[in-house]
Structure 1
Amino acid sequence: MKGDRVEIVIDAGSGTTRTYDVVATRAGRRVEITHGRGVVEVSEVTRGGTVARTARFLANRVLALVEHPAADAPAPDEITPTLRSA
């Protein structure tokens, strides 16, 4: 769903880290994570299952992989009241 986000933190060598974000940029897209054979793959996928874009990382370099799901409903403080005429 639009707003899904995955944050990937990798070891860039010599004690430094780099952070990458993969975000579902359009409505109907989602972010999927797969891993195997020493590779972590984060993909933005359309409703039909077609991969829109992919980020690949060596598994031994990945320090953290954090999923941030999109909110299903707005939080109470995000709801803006609307005036209705009677």
Structure 2
Amino acid sequence: MRGDRVEVVIDAGGEVRIYVIEATRNGRRVEITTSRGVVEVAEVTRGGTPVRTARFMSSRVLALVEHPASEPPIGQQVIGP
């Protein structure tokens, strides 16, 4: 969903770096995959095609923070007659 984002905190040998991967358009989402010592964060379309991909060595990843898109409060939705 547009607005989904993931922050990846990496140990870069003496310093900490933060990378942000965000779903930039409607219908896209962010997926996280971990396998064989690699963490992959990808922005994916509705059909499952990756648009952007970031790969990190899992031994260097300090934290993965997921921020789901916020939906509008129910009170603001207008229902027709």
TM-score normalised to structure 2 length:
0.88
CA distance, structure 2, for counterparts of residue 71 and residue 27 of structure 1: 13
Aligned length: 76
RMSD in angstroms over aligned alpha carbons? Answer: 1.5
CA 1:75 to 1:18, structure 2 compared with 1: closer, same or farther past 3 Å? farther
Gaps of 5+ in 2: 77-81
Q: 2-side partners of 1:4 and 1:74: how far apart? A: 17
1:17 paired residue number:
16
Residue ranges of structure 1 left out of the alignment (5+ in a row): 80-86
Q: Could you tell me the percent identity over the aligned residues? A: 68
Distance 1:29 1:61 in 2: 27
TM-score by length of 1: 0.83
What is the aligned partner in structure 2 of residue 2 from structure 1?
A: 2
Give the CA deviation at 1:74: 4.1
Distance change (3 Å), C-alpha of 1:2 and 1:59: same
- Between the aligned partners of 1:6 and 1:64, the Cα distance in structure 2 is 10
Deviations 1:25-79 (A, max 9, x none): 0000000000010000000000011000100000000000000000122487xx6
